[in-house]
Structure 1
Amino acid sequence: MSLQEKLEHVLSESSATFGVVVKHLGTGEEARVRPEQYFQMASTFKVPILATLFRDIDEGTCSLEQRFRLTEDDLVPGSGVLKEFLPGADVALRDLATLMIIVSDNLATDKILELIGAERVDAYMKELGLQNISIKQSCWELLSVGAGMGSEKKGAEGFHKVTEVFKTSGFDSDSVIFQPTPENNVTTPADMNQLLEWIGTGQLSSQAASDGILDIMKRQQLRNRIPYLLPDQTVVASKSGTVGHVVNDVGIVYLPEEKGAFTITALSFGHASTKEGERMIARLAQTAYEHFVNE
């Protein structure tokens, strides 16, 4: 069977809606499922943010050595570790960028967005020709709107209120954030995978920028999707994302025995559980890995 047929066979066992693009960076062999459909990015939107940050570093408008003092006004619920720190901690931009990716830290993400601007991330994607990557909301905005508390102000009080909503009732499944339109944080699988390809082949703003991005993404600690069913020593540069019934993972998988690498973008919604989506993404990555290794 072709790679396309193999991936479609795996997806036939899921009741969720998936958009998937897989591409071998050496041979160009590719498979695409709903490549041009909009999907909510969830925390995979942190990859375009990281790309824009390294573009700015290339241009000298910011430095990874800059330090930022965290306060209660910076608190953001959801994933990450910085929300557990006592107010007053000084954190370098390099550490914010790393934590944004490897533990999907929402506070770190919003601090970076304060520095570079969500509108500039959106504009950079358009400059690259990625017209279907749309960045409109910070983590705080995404989560507070998703909790039905879009008017809540950021800060300690708002943080505790939104956190409590998630504990008791979770996301509003009818929230506007799940609408597949450019007014939200959305992408098509094709555009996200193109961004990954440029990162993986050193064709972003510079080779140094691409290398810096990959160095962080390869440190990923959340490995229960793309890497989960792959051999233990497999090098994977990835970023996952979850919000409500949306379960995503995107990344670059490095193959053994000089067989190259492949990009994989797996975006989805409509899962009965997060674990169901995670298992499906792991199987998609395993299927692609075995296909390329055995060619």
Structure 2
Amino acid sequence: MTALDLGAVFRAAGVTGWLHALDLDSGREVGHRPDEPVSMASVFKVPLLVEFGRQADAGLLDPAARVTIGAAERSSGPTGISAMLDDVTISLRDLAYLMIAVSDNTAADALAARVGLDAVNAMLTRFGLTGTHVEQNAGQQNDSMAEDAGHGWPFLDPEDLARLRVLDPLRTNRSTARETAALFALIWRDEAASAESCAWMRGVLNLQVWPHRLASGFPYDDVEVSGKTGTLPTVRNEAGVVEYPDGGRYAVAVYTRAFSPALNQPRADAVIGTAARMAVDHLRR
């Protein structure tokens, strides 16, 4: 596969795209602009999940410990605790599940307050993922958008978008397609944390509810797709692992930035699955 092949696919969908795919067993890889910095959006919740698992392994926290989240402590968002009205008492482990499965911002921020973003970044550095850095929790990302634009959602004006720090990889949570795929590889190879914690992380990532991005490229009952989405104005991302019944396992990270400021971007969603399928097919040939 050449860069031109995927570049044309992304452009036809109205986006700029970045991709890296890795065969977890052979080490073969393929990419399109895989080392350029990109805005992670909610994909930042994956390194937070990894550090949570590592701290549980080290006895620094109890995954079953319960916390109560009141209405005033919620980060804005359309899913999970963020969308609830009453106080919620829940375990740290179940916060992690909500953070991944439905991308619950409040769950992520409550977990980040317990784990610490400094610890997340130290973990990334230890793994050599120096192009990946988490600067903000979900609530801080939302607050920064309102501050930069001077008003709340939606952010549709091109001048508003140009001011949003969350869209500038140098001023927000950032990674590269290659490093994001590498982090998933660590989880699937039992290298990110203990084997028990990695197995639990794989299970949680397999419970993500969104079928319209990465999974759309693999519409088969016997192919497992696990992953994490990320969404911001003009940004549609997903990274994860695709597992075939013959044992083939492929970590794939796809980041996109749309040319249009429209809120609904079905072509941008769909091209994530299309490009991922092209990359995995290339690795399987």
Counterpart of 1:147 in 2: which secondary structure? helix
Q: Give the partner amino acid of 2:166.
A: I
Checking the alignment, whether the CA contact within 8 Å between 2:30 and 2:283 is kept in structure 1 is no
Identity %: 24
Flag structure 2 segments of 5+ consecutive residues without an equivalent: none
Q: Deviations over 1:6-49 (max 9, x none)?
A: 54553353442211101111222211111211100000000000
CA distance in 2, matches of 1:220, 1:58: 23
Q: Deviations over 1:172-211 (max 9, x none)?
A: 3121221121x41011111111111111111112222211
Query: Could you say which residue in structure 1 is the equivalent of 2:220?
Result: 232
CA distance in 2, matches of 1:206, 1:170: 46
Structure 1 pair 87/129, CA: closer, same or farther in 2 (3 Å)?
Answer: same
Matches within 5 A, 1:1-295: 2=1, 7-8=6-7, 10-11=9-10, 13-148=12-147, 165-166=152-153, 172-174=160-162, 175-181=164-170, 183-233=171-221, 234-258=223-247, 260-272=248-260, 273=262, 274-292=265-283, 295=285
RMSD value over aligned CA atoms? 2.3
Decide which moves more: 2-11 or 183-192.
2-11
Counterpart of 1:173 in 2: which secondary structure? helix
Q: Give the partner amino acid of 1:210.
A: C
Checking the alignment, whether the CA contact within 8 Å between 2:21 and 2:253 is kept in structure 1 is yes
Flag structure 1 segments of 5+ consecutive residues without an equivalent: 152-161
Checking the alignment, whether the CA contact within 8 Å between 2:109 and 2:139 is kept in structure 1 is yes
Checking the alignment, whether the CA contact within 8 Å between 2:187 and 2:193 is kept in structure 1 is no
Checking the alignment, whether the CA contact within 8 Å between 1:252 and 1:262 is kept in structure 2 is yes
CA distance in 2, matches of 1:208, 1:80: 28
CA distance in 2, matches of 1:168, 1:28: 41
